[in-house]
């Protein structure tokens, strides 16, 4: 009986000690894991505030300029860049390949935007100004989802398409696409990861679908070059196409040498 009387308190104390040890062990683990997750999730927000905060003390005219550039200006600049590239490429050998690449650029952008529609519905990420206070928002009234950025997706898909057509103009287009991403964050309408996601989506669509697209568009551009609308592909129209055909007969059979020259420019 004495042994039983002594054993019971020991058993209760052991159970209490085990419960205390379990709770003490789980609490530090939770506390240790918490800041890591919070730090990872806040890195995107911190960068958002850093970039968006640049405009806190900026003059009104600068904000309005960034707003126009981020909404429309970059896209207008992209269109002008493609126009200049097309105009110059018409005067060079391998013009059908370059023109095909320029046609592919907006097609790739359109496909990327269509792919982004279900992505936005699946992710369902609200705009940053809906979840975070103190942002300097330049464009009001945006209620659609934030990930991925349509503007960034569109700009990067076009830039990669132009790069496929002509390296020098493509580098300029890539610079414009990066500027577009910066403007979207500065305007307070997208997280940095929204922009990165748009860049990745636009690049993936433009690159992965480029081989079959170019295989279809390049022969089509050559057919147009030999028609009455040949001026759309070559500066001299069908006459220039015939002259180039004679010149190409002495070169590679696939006619790819001219296009390589354009890409190396």
The answer to whether 163 and 171 have CB atoms below 8 angstroms apart is yes
Q: How confident is the model at residue 90 (pLDDT cuts 50, 70, 90)?
A: confident
pLDDT in tens, 140-160: 878 889 999 999 999 999 999
**Most confident option among 11-15, 39-43, 154-158, 184-188:** 154-158
Q: What is the pLDDT of residue 19?
A: 52
Query: 199 Cβ partners below 8 Å, 6+ apart?
Result: 152, 153, 156, 177, 181
Q: How many other CB atoms sit within 10 Å of the CB of residue 247?
A: 11
Q: Which of 259-264's residues contact partners 24+ apart within 8 Å by CB, and which partners? A: 259/94, 259/96, 259/97, 259/98, 260/94, 261/92, 261/93, 261/94, 262/89, 262/92, 262/94, 262/97, 262/98, 262/165, 262/166, 263/166, 263/167, 264/167
Q: How far apart are CA 99 and CA 114, in angstroms?
A: 24
Q: Which residue did the predictor score with more confidence, 28 or 88?
A: 88
In total, the chain counts a number of residues equal to: 265
Q: What is the dihedral of CA 63, 68, 71, 72, to 10 degrees?
A: -160
Residue 168, judged by CB atoms within 10 A of its CB (0-12, 13-18, 19+), counts as middle
pLDDT in tens, 189-240: 999 999 999 999 999 999 999 999 999 999 999 999 888 888 888 876 655 5
Tokens 């806040």 sit on residue = 42
HSE of 255 in the Cβ direction (CA atoms, 13 Å)? 16
Closest to 108 in 3D by CA, of 155, 167, 170, 174: 155
pTM for this model (two decimals)? 0.74
């Amino acid at each position: 009986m004495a042994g039983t009387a002594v054993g019971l308190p020991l058993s209760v104390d052991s159970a209490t000690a085990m419960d205390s040890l379990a709770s003490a062990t789980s609490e530090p683990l939770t506390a240790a894991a918490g800041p890591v997750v919070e730090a990872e999730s806040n890195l995107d927000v911190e960068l958002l505030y850093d970039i968006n905060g640049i405009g806190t003390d900026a003059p009104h005219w600068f904000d309005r300029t960034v707003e126009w550039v981020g909404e429309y200006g970059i896209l207008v600049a992209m269109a002008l860049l493609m126009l200049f590239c097309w105009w110059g490429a018409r005067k060079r050998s391998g013009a059908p390949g370059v023109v095909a690449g320029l046609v592919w650029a907006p097609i790739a952008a359109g496909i990327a935007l269509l792919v982004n529609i279900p992505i936005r519905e699946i992710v369902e990420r609200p705009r940053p100004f809906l979840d975070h206070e103190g942002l300097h928002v330049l464009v009001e009234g945006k209620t659609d989802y934030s990930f991925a950025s349509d503007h960034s997706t569109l700009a990067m898909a076009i830039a990669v398409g132009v790069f496929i057509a002509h390296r020098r103009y493509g580098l300029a287009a890539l610079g414009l696409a990066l500027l577009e991403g910066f403007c979207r964050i500065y305007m307070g309408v997208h997280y940095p990861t929204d922009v990165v996601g748009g860049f990745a989506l636009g690049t993936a669509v433009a690159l992965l679908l480029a081989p079959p697209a170019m295989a279809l568009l390049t022969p089509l551009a050559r057919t147009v070059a030999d028609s009455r609308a040949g001026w759309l592909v070559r500066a001299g129209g069908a006459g220039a196409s015939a002259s180039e055909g004679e010149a190409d007969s002495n070169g590679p059979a696939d006619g790819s040498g001219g296009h390589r020259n354009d890409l190396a420019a």
